[in-house]
Chains A and B, each alone.
Chain A
Amino acid sequence: MTRWYEDIEIGEPFPLGSHSFTEAEIVRFGQLYDPQYFHVDPEAARYSQFGGLVASGWHTVSIGHRRMVDALFAEEDRLRALGKEPGVSGPSPGVNKMSFKVPVRPGDTVTYTLTVTGKRASNSIPGWGLLFNNIEAVNQRGETVYHAELVGFSKLRDYKMPLKLRLLLALTRLPVMGKVLASRTGLT
């Protein structure tokens, strides 16, 4: 969430909204990234195990990601409207698990929900925390389309940089020697 790491509640479901898939966008995504016959050719798709055209799982997931980014921005706006400073979301280091369950067909509407299942401070990047997120995508019949377990970076609000790191950072701001230090330590 674009809440501060410290304010994120474990287990609280966060609705990300819905998306209705058209045949045209299923075919377009398929042609660009996943041109298997059951993602791009409605006629040939009848011979597949699906019996017709279905969206690439990666399409459903990419749309789910878009719904999440939009929900984060909406949460940011909501916090600002309340006079609060929103937190900072970072990139993701990866996805532990993604299971495609039932296919998405043209006309299906998929509803996405995110739940934070755990969090901890990052070992590799000082000042940031890791969020362990589940995303559940469900169609209009209540069937699970996919289940995902993702990891995301979130900035710590209450982080106090250790004295050693603060000194090192200050030294990297010195001319000449600072540049050498910065390149050696990876600090900028």
Chain B
Amino acid sequence: MNPVTAQRRHYEDLAVGEVIDLGTTRVSKEMIISFAREFDPFPFHLDEAAAKASLLGGLASSGWQTAALTLRMLGDSFLNKIASMGGLGFSDLKWKKPVMVGDSIGGTATIAALRRSHHHPERGIVTIDLDIRNQRGEPVMTMQLANLVELRDPSAPEVGQ
């Protein structure tokens, strides 16, 4: 038994259709510029004039920052409350609308699928649909994430699959 995750929810405790509220995060100009300096130093993420002239139409966060802030919200509201074993990746990530200075992003994570690993009986795979919106309710990012989660009882037979 892993002592770090023993008291957390395991694979058996999760259900398809469960909706997790991610809360909200306000994105400031300082946050945008600081992330861009480190990971995405395109002029349209660093400089207001360059951003106005770009396809984004104003200073907007790096899409990777929107993703990282979403991941933080998902960690606080879900991944750190389950026996997570790490991420497998994601698919269909769409940046639908730029996140501008002063926007608040938030949304929901929905458990879209649950299945057990074929090779590792102690592992399950949870698929999560993320729907991230701004304070006007407009979609800014969607994606589907796959994460590993421990089984409490790997010897139990698979049911309902």
Produce 1/0 per residue, A7-44, CB < 8 A to B: 00000000000000000000000001111111000001
* Size category of the binding interface on chain A: 35 or more
Bound state CA distance, A97 and B146, in angstroms? 11
Q: Is B161 an interface residue (CB 8 A)?
A: no
Q: Is A49 an interface residue (CB 8 A)?
A: yes
Question: A65-B40, A91-B63, A93-B95 are known contacts. Are A37 and B4 too (CB-CB below 8 A)?
Answer: yes
Q: How many A-B residue pairs have CB under 8 A?
A: 110
- Interface-central residue, B87, B93, B98, B148, by most chain A CB under 10 Å: B93
* Size category of the binding interface on chain B: 35 or more
The main secondary structure of chain A at its interface with chain B is mixed
Question: A34-B71, A36-B79, A66-B41 are known contacts. Are A49 and B89 too (CB-CB below 8 A)?
Answer: no
Bound state CA distance, A30 and B5, in angstroms? 18
Whether the Cβ atoms of A69 and B80 lie closer than 8 Å is: no
Report the minimal beta-carbon distance from B11 to chain A, rounded to whole angstroms: 14
Collect the chain A residues with CB atoms within 8 Å of residue B148's CB. 49
Collect the chain A residues with CB atoms within 8 Å of residue B98's CB. 91
Report the minimal beta-carbon distance from B126 to chain A, rounded to whole angstroms: 14
Bound state CA distance, A71 and B40, in angstroms? 12
Collect the chain A residues with CB atoms within 8 Å of residue B41's CB. 66, 69-70
Whether the Cβ atoms of A58 and B68 lie closer than 8 Å is: yes
Question: A48-B2, A69-B40 are known contacts. Are A94 and B94 too (CB-CB below 8 A)?
Answer: yes
Q: Is A103 an interface residue (CB 8 A)?
A: yes
Q: Is A159 an interface residue (CB 8 A)?
A: no
Whether the Cβ atoms of A91 and B54 lie closer than 8 Å is: yes
- Interface-central residue, B5, B64, B94, by most chain A CB under 10 Å: B64
Q: Is A100 an interface residue (CB 8 A)?
A: yes
Q: Is A123 an interface residue (CB 8 A)?
A: no
| Beyond known contacts A48-B86, A94-B94: 16 more, CB 8 A cutoff | A33-B71, A34-B75, A35-B72, A37-B4, A47-B4, A47-B5, A54-B86, A57-B89, A61-B64, A62-B68, A92-B95, A94-B92, A96-B91, A96-B93, A99-B89, A100-B88
